[in-house]
Copies of this chain bind each other. A is one copy, B any other.
Amino acid sequence: MDLVRGKQNGAARGARIGDVAREAGVSTATVSRALAHPAQVSKELRERVGAAVAKLGYTPNAAARQLRVKRSRTVLVVTRRRWSAPFFAEVLRGLDAELSAAGYAMVLANFDGDGGNRSRQLVDMMFSGTIEGAVMLSGIVVAAEGRTMLDAGLPLVSLCAAAEGTHTVLTNEAECIVEGARRLAALGHTDFLYLAGPPSNYNERVRWAALSAFFAEPRQAGLRLRRAESGDFSTDGGLLTAQAFLGLSPRPTAVIASADEIAIGFMKAVRAAGIGVPSDVSVLGFDGIEFADFCEPVLSTIRQPREALGRLGARVLIEAIEAPSLPPLSHHVLPSRLDFRASTGPAPAGAAAPRPQAAPAPKRKSARARVPAPAEGR
């Protein structure tokens, strides 16, 4: 095999289809056909072409082909810094697995709402023909100069978030968090604290909306729900909420975090302050990251099917790309799983007595169920 090693940068490298044609003694059309539609070419020529290709180490130029056939077999994946790393890595792996199996390449781009430059890059990419579709792990439809990613008319999939005009792949997070609260209530807890993530985040909104709606039900009148802000899906955010918790009186006995990281940070800080988990306060996280198994105590959590989310997102996108005509937007929901472990237990004896119904109804702060608008994603 005669490989032309790059001499000068950018110098002519590799063979072109004409070289292969000459070598095999056929026309370029035959070479192209032998490679793309072998059945249309006689066995003999097919072999001659194959030999020439091998000899010259020929690989078709992707740009030229793309220009002609209008397909790049490339999709864009837009991520967001705020994703928790373990969550992110596995979703990405699912996406990659499914995309590469179908022969698609994946362009990865982080988008943190920066000052306009990145936005333009992304929007241009949608319009420049490099991309056949996009998966957004950010929940944001990026816009620049009056155009949005949607305007390019390419299929878009929002993963773990909802956005107008896109296919969506979500989890049943709302039901899960309510189920978590229900289970805690069944353990005798009546005084709850929600550790909120960034309020602009889609998942944060969904979770808070579901939880506060649940506590607003008349049947749950004996339960109280408060809220502490972490500002962030991070362990540091969790430390913050612990400060808030320690300042409360009476102290809630059940804590539901909007992310495992927050819960882990919270647990560490309150235990350092002499509060027992779960003896004094039960803690429930969200996501099911690996380290939920290794903190003290082992964290109860709501496990999201991370790799499956990635895989399904990829499949939905591929289907939309390859559908002969514009398909309707699809919406999928994958189930998460509640996993109660060491960080949750019965309400402590002192506080366990169900709050007397007759007492002046505790003001449920912010119990109105805000319906989350399509907004920032997770």
CA of A63 to CA of B295 in the docked complex: distance in angstroms? 50
Within 8 Å of chain B (Cβ to Cβ): is A324?
Answer: yes
Across-interface contacts of A18 in B (CB, < 8 A):
none
Give A309 Cβ to nearest chain B Cβ, in Å. Answer: 15
Across-interface contacts of A118 in B (CB, < 8 A):
100
Residue in A59, A61, A71, A264 whose Cβ sees the most chain B Cβ within 10 Å: A59
Across-interface contacts of A105 in B (CB, < 8 A):
107, 109, 121, 125, 130
Across-interface contacts of A5 in B (CB, < 8 A):
151, 153
Across-interface contacts of A61 in B (CB, < 8 A):
67, 128-129
Quick check: A96 and B108 within 8 Å, CB to CB? yes
Within 8 Å of chain B (Cβ to Cβ): is A106?
Answer: yes
Within 8 Å of chain B (Cβ to Cβ): is A251?
Answer: no
Q: Which of A283-297 contact B (CB under 8 A)?
A: 290-291, 293-296
Residue in A118, A130, A265 whose Cβ sees the most chain B Cβ within 10 Å: A130
Across-interface contacts of A226 in B (CB, < 8 A):
none
Known: A89-B88, A93-B110, A107-B105. A8 touches B63 (CB 8 A): no
Quick check: B324 and A9 within 8 Å, CB to CB? yes
Within 8 Å of chain B (Cβ to Cβ): is A326?
Answer: yes
Known: A64-B67, A110-B97, A151-B3. A323 touches B9 (CB 8 A): yes
Across-interface contacts of A3 in B (CB, < 8 A):
147, 151
Residue of B whose beta carbon sits closest to that of A5: B153
Q: Which of A75-97 contact B (CB under 8 A)?
A: 77, 81, 85-86, 88-90, 92-93, 96-97
Across-interface contacts of A77 in B (CB, < 8 A):
108
Give A166 Cβ to nearest chain B Cβ, in Å. Answer: 14
Quick check: B235 and A13 within 8 Å, CB to CB? no
Main secondary structure of the interface of A (DSSP, over half): mixed
Quick check: B128 and A59 within 8 Å, CB to CB? yes
Within 8 Å of chain B (Cβ to Cβ): is A14?
Answer: yes
Give A238 Cβ to nearest chain B Cβ, in Å. Answer: 9
Known: A59-B128, A130-B63, A293-B235. A6 touches B110 (CB 8 A): no
Quick check: A326 and B63 within 8 Å, CB to CB? no
Across-interface contacts of A231 in B (CB, < 8 A):
none
Quick check: A109 and B125 within 8 Å, CB to CB? no
Known: A85-B90, A147-B1. A9 touches B321 (CB 8 A): yes
CA of A290 to CA of B129 in the docked complex: distance in angstroms? 39
CA of A29 to CA of B88 in the docked complex: distance in angstroms? 45
Residue in A13, A60, A235 whose Cβ sees the most chain B Cβ within 10 Å: A13
Indicate which residue in B66, B81, B86, B107 contacts A85 across the interface (CB closer than 8 Å). Answer: B86
Quick check: B265 and A294 within 8 Å, CB to CB? yes
Quick check: A294 and B323 within 8 Å, CB to CB? no
CA of A7 to CA of B153 in the docked complex: distance in angstroms? 8
CA of A264 to CA of B295 in the docked complex: distance in angstroms? 9
Give A89 Cβ to nearest chain B Cβ, in Å. Answer: 4
Indicate which residue in B8, B109, B295 contacts A96 across the interface (CB closer than 8 Å). Answer: B109
Across-interface contacts of A351 in B (CB, < 8 A):
none
Chain A residues proximal to chain B, CB less than 8 Å: 1, 3-10, 13-14, 54, 57, 59-64, 66-67, 70-72, 74, 77, 81, 85-86, 88-90, 92-93, 96-97, 100, 103, 105-110, 118, 121, 124-125, 127-130, 145-147, 151-154, 235, 261, 264-265, 268, 290-291, 293-296, 321, 323-326
Enumerate 9 A-B pairs (CB-CB under 8 Å) in ascending A order: A10-B71, A13-B152, A64-B67, A85-B290, A89-B89, A103-B121, A105-B121, A107-B108, A291-B294
